[in-house]
Structure 1
């Protein structure tokens, strides 16, 4: 069952909040909405779920127009980042609640609840109430309710945002398996690029109320079509700077120059935006063909086996704030000048209007 958006828009106080959007989301894998806070992810989910009115356009489920149907008649499930469970009910009754509303037989309800509880390791807790559960267990209860309902569409709006790191990692790894083979369209909203990559499936990048790119997640990450898309799908932020292309060379600032190759070498002479991800800017020259940069270190971070440095480059009257992310521990000193090495073969080139050209 596909979920299709046909030119949908949303207005808030007369202002276009969701620009015209068309998407076809397929069952069988995750469909991720990736964007910063305020990009429109939750609004788009609420429109698909029937919780927010649509100013124009249509929503179709399996070819059926459900634009004017209320949420209850769409047979969907919605899991928020906040733990939404009925406090006066047991875990069993929380999971069973939508099945009871649907008038299902007690024997079938029991079977579905037991299956969902077993999948999410809640069986020993079925007689507890939500206040007796940890945060992770409460969110598992909400997920179990979505699984037991066997909805046509499941919307997960940053469901792991309020969990601690360990629980997030555990549930993130389990989620694709939980909904695999159930025939539902699964839509997962997140602001974290790493989470989108881990979940796989298809990804819709959102920025300022519009979808900037949609396709298989790995393809969208590797081949951003617009500068805005490259910015959305990068954490730490993607490095950008203006370069001048002349002949077979590119010039950055007042003296950083290198030979171009591939599609970039065939561009017309002119001004472009170079974008390169932080892990292609390193403090060590580990290969041939790297371009040496120099910047003053502003902030350093060490996380596990990786080091990052935020540094400011003087580009001859202009400045660029860049980030380096590399494996290992590196001895940065805040305030000191440091050499960095960029791999130009990993850069993206964008025209002045933001369109990818190489």
Structure 2
């Protein structure tokens, strides 16, 4: 194959444009595991283009995200995942999809979309205004993580059981979220449920979708 030929040549630079796209699912999964050590052994610099963010996470190394032909973020793959620079990148690197909620910063508190107030000390310095709070499904849990965790109440829409993991789809006001929990937690549709979210696991974005850094003060207007 073209992939094998490129690696055998031991070129200094290897460019791969979606090399696994036409393979069946099983073979694609196998190669995703085999390619990283293979790339390391060749000593080549490999540029691997893919439209699947999860593939980038599996391959590791360094990741560059592109939008409309421009690089929007570059760094170690784990860093791009944990510290996305904008909402679109955060959504791309989240499976199941990123949970979001509109919030208003008012004084020292966040006013959540369910009219609940949440005091989050790490965001005290940012300007008042409207923001989007993002959090990944595995960070929405059935038990509080710490004393700053906020309780989010809602109604179960459906529960998916996958092996020893549960995906709880819930509705809270106008929001629909997914909680990814370990163990079998099979809630019937319509069941009231309380979930907990810690501020340390939240991503905050401004009205333009840019990640808010707690180290600098935002300017609105």
TM-score by length of 2: 0.84
Name which of 269, 273, 281 aligns with 2:128.
269
Q: Match of 1:201?
A: 61
Listed as ranges, the matches of 1:120-159 within 5 Å are 141-151=1-11, 152-157=13-18, 159=20
Question: What are the superposed Cα offsets for residues 264-306 of structure 1, whole Å, 9 maximum, x if unpaired?
Answer: 1111122111111111101233543221112222232222332
- Point out the more displaced range, 237-246 or 295-304: 295-304
Is the Cα contact below 8 Å between 2:161 and 2:186 reproduced in 1? no
* SS state at 1:180 partner: helix
Is the Cα contact below 8 Å between 1:261 and 1:345 reproduced in 2? no
How far, CA to CA, are the matches of 1:158 and 1:260 in structure 2? 45
How far, CA to CA, are the matches of 2:128 and 2:203 in structure 1? 16
Q: Match of 2:154?
A: 295
Q: Match of 1:355?
A: 210
Q: Match of 1:335?
A: 190
Q: Match of 1:186?
A: 46
Larger-gyration structure (1/2): 1
The verdict on how the C-alpha distance between 1:254 and 1:150 changes in structure 2, with shifts beyond 3 A counting, is: closer
RMSD, aligned α-carbons: 2.3
Name which of 176, 183, 199 aligns with 1:344.
199
Q: Are 1:226 and 2:65 an aligned pair? A: no
How far, CA to CA, are the matches of 1:195 and 1:158 in structure 2? 11
Q: Are 1:256 and 2:116 an aligned pair? A: yes
Report the CA distance between 1:175 and its aligned residue.
Answer: 0.4
Is the Cα contact below 8 Å between 1:193 and 1:235 reproduced in 2? no
How far, CA to CA, are the matches of 2:58 and 2:92 in structure 1? 16
Q: Are 1:321 and 2:190 an aligned pair? A: no
The verdict on how the C-alpha distance between 1:161 and 1:304 changes in structure 2, with shifts beyond 3 A counting, is: farther
How far, CA to CA, are the matches of 2:52 and 2:43 in structure 1? 26
* SS state at 2:23 partner: coil
How far, CA to CA, are the matches of 1:211 and 1:321 in structure 2? 31
User: What runs of 5+ residues in structure 2 fail to find an aligned partner?
Assistant: 214-221
TM-score by length of 1: 0.54
The verdict on how the C-alpha distance between 1:164 and 1:293 changes in structure 2, with shifts beyond 3 A counting, is: same
Q: Match of 1:239?
A: 99
How far, CA to CA, are the matches of 1:188 and 1:323 in structure 2? 31
May I ask how many residue pairs the two structures share in their alignment?
A: 212
Report the CA distance between 1:203 and its aligned residue.
Answer: 0.9
User: What runs of 5+ residues in structure 1 fail to find an aligned partner?
Assistant: 1-140
Report the CA distance between 1:201 and its aligned residue.
Answer: 1.0
Report the CA distance between 1:210 and its aligned residue.
Answer: 4.5
Is the Cα contact below 8 Å between 1:207 and 1:232 reproduced in 2? no
